[in-house]
């Protein structure tokens, strides 16, 4: 099977699943981000070992997989990532690196590489959850969602999902444009030591394709979705970090707990 056939086959299967998860949001999106973050961290540490670094790969992969889940839990109000907790994890990682690598095993470099792998993969990918539930579209998943139909299958298209599909579409357009332009023109290699197959022509083709698709998506998808969202009444919902007891308790009971001012 040729490389093109493998890419097309993978896209036919993976693209609809990814789009459904992005539109669904919630736990499926957090799970997808966790899996991709863990795989990305594993690849990052593999490359880092090739340069002579010795990161704690298993620890970094685990932390990368947990970070998007922590972001999801924070949105639900079940968990809050506090600076003190982050500082504690960093100190524990430094201590574990010194213990496992020893003084002669370059523990500072190993710890720094481990932390960078988590931030670079899970930290960046967790922004996908932030985009999906950005304040601009927060609360519009119900009142602002538009119905789409594919034959007998009908599903909601929330504005937050439309916003998160944007970077996915740009990435796909860049990859497709770079592949076909690079194969058609060829020429000078871009960075042979990193990726021998990529060319300068392919990079330019990917850039042009992503710019074109970006303009088309913004004009014919994002702009109509934004117009429809503005027409919908602004939904009222509690802040993501509001404790659950304050979300469900009646206002009278909360007010009755307030101390009576003394004169």
* pLDDT tens, position by position, 139-169: 555 444 455 544 455 556 677 888 888 988 9
Residue 217 belongs to a domain: no
Cα dist from 179 to 103, 119, 176, 201, whole Å: 46, 29, 5, 10
pTM of the complete model beyond 0.95: no
User: What's the chain's length in residues?
Assistant: 263
Residue 110 belongs to a domain: yes
* pLDDT tens, position by position, 188-206: 888 877 777 888 889 999 9
Q: How many domains does the structure of the chain reveal? A: 1
Structural domain of 64: 24-132
C-alpha radius of gyration, the chain, whole number = 23
Residue 213 belongs to a domain: no
Residue 126 belongs to a domain: yes
Angular region, 169: left φ>0, alpha ψ -120 to 50, beta rest: alpha
Helix (H) or strand (E) holding 189: strand 189-191
Residue 119 belongs to a domain: yes
Gap between the terminal Cα atoms of the chain:
85
Cα dist from 2 to 7, 9, 11, 15, whole Å: 9, 11, 14, 20
CA atoms of 158 and 166, how far apart (whole Å): 13
pLDDT at res. 46: 93
């Amino acid at each position: 099977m040729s490389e093109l056939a493998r890419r097309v086959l993978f896209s036919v299967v993976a693209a609809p699943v990814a789009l459904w998860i992005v539109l669904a949001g919630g736990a499926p999106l957090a799970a997808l981000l966790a899996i991709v973050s863990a795989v990305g961290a594993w690849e990052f540490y593999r490359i880092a070992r090739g340069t002579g670094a010795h990161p704690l790969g298993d620890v970094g992969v685990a932390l990368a997989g947990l970070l998007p889940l922590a972001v999801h839990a924070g949105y639900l109000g079940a968990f809050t990532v506090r600076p003190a907790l982050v500082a504690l994890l960093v100190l524990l990682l430094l201590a574990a690196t010194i213990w496992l690598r020893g003084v002669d095993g370059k523990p500072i470099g190993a710890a720094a590489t481990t932390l960078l792998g988590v931030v670079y993969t899970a930290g960046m990918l967790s922004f996908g959850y932030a985009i999906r539930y950005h304040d601009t579209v927060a609360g519009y998943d119900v009142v602002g969602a538009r119905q789409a139909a594919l034959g007998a299958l009908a599903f909601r298209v929330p504005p937050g999902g439309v916003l998160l599909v944007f970077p996915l579409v740009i990435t796909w357009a860049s990859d497709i444009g770079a592949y076909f332009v690079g194969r058609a023109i060829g020429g000078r290699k871009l960075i042979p030591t990193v990726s021998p197959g990529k060319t300068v022509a392919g990079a330019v083709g990917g850039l042009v394709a992503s710019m074109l698709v970006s303009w088309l998506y913004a004009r014919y998808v994002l702009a109509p979705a934004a117009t429809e969202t503005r027409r919908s009444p602004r939904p009222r919902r509690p802040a993501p970090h509001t404790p659950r007891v304050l979300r469900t308790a009646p206002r009278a009971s909360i007010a009755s707990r307030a101390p009576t001012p003394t004169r």
